[in-house]
């Protein structure tokens, strides 16, 4: 819990500084006290309580989201650590390019994120203590590993003020390009061929997609997420 506490000490301190609070450390401790009380009252983990308290207090900061970096042209690129494969897939479904390599080590992740000018998403609080991340040379955000994937996605949406866009390939994050149905005849299951006319191919990995029931379920979940974020 000490690692999580360190992360939220920094996050609470940043919010209180943005609110021009006079007694930062006392304010941070009060927020931890509120989180502890919320955890006991509602029977949720302290991590969940910290997330909720941070969300509440952040809403009072002008120009939210607090941690969002200055806008960049083109789509936002995220680099997810080894523990965030599920989050990477859902970010792609929501229209954001997200790199994920389950075997990558921390040094390589930081190096690649810097090269690609990507925002690091990590469950490793120790990684956040590296100078290039701590000082904002490479933008990064810590995601509590105890949250469900849907909760992690909602947290990232709130943090960066994201909205749902055109879906990308959930396998690799590539753009989906419309293709002619007849040209894909040999790759489309016969039952699907009979009732669907719109198909897409990933520009990176050539995976074939169509807007079937699975696609609609994903779209419904993303719509519900956006309504809550």
pLDDT in tens, 38-95: 989 989 888 888 888 888 888 787 755 444 443 333 347 999 999 999 999 999 999 9
39 and 152 co-located in one domain: no
Q: What is the pLDDT of residue 112?
A: 95
Q: Please indicate, yes or no, if residue 146 is contained in any of the structural domains.
A: yes
Instruction: Look up the domain containing 51 and give its range.
Output: 2-58
d(CA 223, CA 44): 25
What is the pLDDT, as a whole number, of residue 72? 37
Domain of residue 123, CATH code:
3.40.50
* Within a domain: 63: no
Measure the CA dihedral 10/13/18/20, to 10°.
-160
User: Is residue 79 domain-shared with residue 45, that is, in the same domain?
Assistant: no
Instruction: Decide: 159 and 141 in contact? Cβ < 8 Å.
Output: yes
pTM: 0.79
Total structural domains in the chain? 2
């Amino acid at each position: 819990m000490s690692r999580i506490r360190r992360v939220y000490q920094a996050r609470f301190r940043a919010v209180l500084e943005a609110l021009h609070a006079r007694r930062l450390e006392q304010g941070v401790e009060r927020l931890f006290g509120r989180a502890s009380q919320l955890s006991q009252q509602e029977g949720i983990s302290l991590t969940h309580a910290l997330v909720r308290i941070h969300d509440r207090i952040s809403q009072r900061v002008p120009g939210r989201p607090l941690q969002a970096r200055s806008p960049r042209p083109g789509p936002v690129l995220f680099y997810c650590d080894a523990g965030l494969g599920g989050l990477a897939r859902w970010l792609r479904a929501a229209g954001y390019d997200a790199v994920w390599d389950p075997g990558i080590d921390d040094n390589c992740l930081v190096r690649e994120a810097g090269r690609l000018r990507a925002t690091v998403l990590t469950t490793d609080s120790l990684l956040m203590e590296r100078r290039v991340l701590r000082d904002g040379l490479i933008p990064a955000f810590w995601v509590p590993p105890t949250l469900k994937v849907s909760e992690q996605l909602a947290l990232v949406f709130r943090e960066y003020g994201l909205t749902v866009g055109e879906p990308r390939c959930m396998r690799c994050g590539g753009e989906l390009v419309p293709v002619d149905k007849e040209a894909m005849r040999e790759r489309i299951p016969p039952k699907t061929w009979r009732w669907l006319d719109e198909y897409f191919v990933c520009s990176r990995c050539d995976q074939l997609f169509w807007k079937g029931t699975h696609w609609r379920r994903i779209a419904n979940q993303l719509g519900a997420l956006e309504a809550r974020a």
